[in-house]
Amino acid sequence: MRIEQVDELLWEIPRQDRMRVPARVFADAELLDAIRGDRSLEQLANVATLPGVVEAALAMPDIHQGYGFPVGGIAATEPPEGVISPGGVGYDINCGVRLLTLPLTAAELGARKEALVHAISREVPAGTGRGGRLEVRGLDLDRVLAEGPRALVEDRGIGTPEDVERTESEGRLEGADPDQVSERARQRGGDQLGTMGSGNHFVEVQRVERIFDPEAARSFGLAEGQVTVLIHSGSRGLGHQVCTDFVRRMDAARARGELRFELVDRQLACAPAASAEGRAYLGAMAAAANFAWANRHAIAAGVRRAVESALGPQAARETRQVYDVAHNVAKLEDHGGRRVYVHRKGATRAFPAGSAEIPAPYRKTGQPVFIPGSMGTWSYVLAGRPGAMERSFGTVCHGAGRQLSRTAARKRLAGGELRQELERAGITVRCPSNRGLAEEAPFAYKDVERVVDVVERAGLAARVARLQPVGVVKG
Amino acid sequence: MHRWAEHTGELELELEAESEAALFESAVEAMAELLGEGGGEGAAIARDVSLAAGDRAALLADWIGEIAYLAERDGLVPERLERLELRDSGLEARISGRAGSPPHLVKGATYHRLELRQDPDAWRARVVLDV
């Protein structure tokens, strides 16, 4: 596939064949070489064919092959003709990350780290279908779908109003319509609030290893040596079912001739945002996104219970939420004088200082963005910069990005050996599956330093702090 | 016969069989392998499945998605396809196995590069799973 260099960190696939706009990738030359090794760029070019897509289909340096959209892909579509694509948002609607700070340093935590990691593994159920201690059905579930974590604060006394304020979109997407969430999706989600799932989801205990921007770090409540907890999960079976339902529904509508456009990939199933199908999906997606925020909110409550049991009630009371960001979602936003649906598939909103969309305490620094590395490497805290609004629809990367398939990762190192390696490096591991552990090995991912370097030099976000893993709980 | 092809982010399943019905059976074998790691050591269980889809490839993806759903909802670690009736627009089937805690999450059976075809020598299919 022909790709042209625009500048040191931006590459373009010119508009060709059925592409309606060009496709652009933020990467350095070495990352681009790795990106060319799978089908990512072909998938990105496919995204550029979507009806109503504007400006360019974009990819972040952590891009890798997914299904339909590449992971790390971004597309903005302009209503009313512009489409909304459930395949573009993905199965794990509003998969995302939430960062908590604990009121002590890693040195003060000391030998109690093992007890803390163990307590988290007991309080936050992990694995495919494991339910949690919190069941929400019927009208209670409707409240969560409509209001997100605020419903848990107000109805169940779980978490605090400050947690809600320090969540992207305050944990509530406008237009959520619980009636568009199928009975099967409701049944799957009813007992899954507060559960992690499996795959690449985790709860990680970390130490703030380095501060890059002291002023921003202060505003985020981060200090060198401090203990943090990073939570990565999504909308669980409820969101998976919403995606399944609407990919099928839009695929069938197109087959019946009700949606008159050709698709280069069936998984890009979509409908004009203003159509009946499009409006129904937007209502269901928003409800699933709210459910995901409520899920991470409930997981954070589990972490606070673990902190209380391992470190005492005062430490639990003083455990604060820095922020919570979505990775897989479509949101109506204003960019370049247009009102567009920004699809982020494995990408993070990163609004700069001054944005009214971010919590007041962060308006001088820019929105906090969390970039998980892998179990054995750094994670980063970034702050959004104006370049993101100018160049990437207010978006940056979401992680390091996979570079090895799960099969290849397992072939290189057995899970048991990896567990020992991580323990030798001082990282306490709780994961029931050696297979799952091996598939998420650090070497399966790109170099997070390099990925973060690209988004910083491209002016999309800036480093605030670097976090070192000291314990991980995985599904 | 099934094979897991290389895919950076997800799982790509390739199937090959002598008949269309055998292709659907080989999908059960693949899912049994995926969901059986960690073992289904509990009671014997069986579930009836009824699906409808607009075309055969979508029916296969939905079939795999349904098996993943039963693993999540009921902890079904599939072992055998007891019955399969393929019809023009759907299927009826019964899957048996053991109750357990299937470790591997399948979020969805996607339509990305979805394919089901009859070649001169065999039936072949490809389904990408979101994991």
Per-residue model confidence as pLDDT tens digits over A246-287: 999 999 999 999 998 999 999 999 999 999 999 999 999 999
A121, A161, A193, A252 from B101: Cα distances, Å? 16, 36, 18, 34
User: What is the per-residue pLDDT across A307-348, written as a single tens digit (0 to 9) for each?
Assistant: 999 999 999 999 999 999 999 999 999 999 999 999 999 999
Residue of B nearest to A88 (CA): B112
**Interchain contact, A432 vs B37, CB within 8 Å:** no
Question: Per-residue pLDDT averaged across A230-259, rounded?
Answer: 96
| Domain containing residue B111: CATH number | 3.55.10.10
Domain count, chain B: 1
Give me the pLDDT at residue A133, please: 78
> What is the model's pLDDT at position A129?
58
- What pTM was estimated for this model as a whole? 0.97
Q: Which of A244, A404, A435 sits opposite B37 (nearest CB)?
A: A435
CB contact under 8 A, B112 and A92: no
ipTM score:
0.95
Per the structure, the complete domain to which residue B75 belongs is given by: 2-130
pLDDT band at A47 (very low <50, low <70, confident <90, very high): very high
CA distance A239 to B108: 10
Of A269, A405, A432, the CB nearest to B111: A269
pLDDT mean over A223-241: 97
Given phi > 0 = left and psi -120 to 50 = alpha, else beta, which region is A70?
beta
- Residue of chain B whose Cα is closest to the Cα of A69: B112
Active site residue A398: yes
The CA-atom distances, in angstroms, between A223 and each of A57, A106, A218, A466 are: 38, 11, 7, 11
User: Which positions in chain A touch B6 (Cβ < 8 Å)?
Assistant: 405, 407-408
- Chain B closest-CA separation from residue A271 CA (Å): 16
Res. A111 pLDDT band, cuts 50 70 90: very high
Task: Judge whether residue A130 has pLDDT over 70.
Answer: no
Half-sphere exposure of B119 (CA within 13 A, CB side): 11
- In whole angstroms, what is the distance from residue A51 CA to residue A131 CA? 39
- As a residue count, chain B comes to 131
pLDDT(B40) > 70? no
CA distance A128 to chain B (A): 5
Element holding A39 (H helix, E strand): none
Mean pLDDT of chain B: 93
**Domains of chain A from N-terminus onward:** 4-82+93-403+445-474 (3.90.1860.10)
Nearest Cα of chain A lies from the Cα of B75 at a distance, in angstroms, of 7
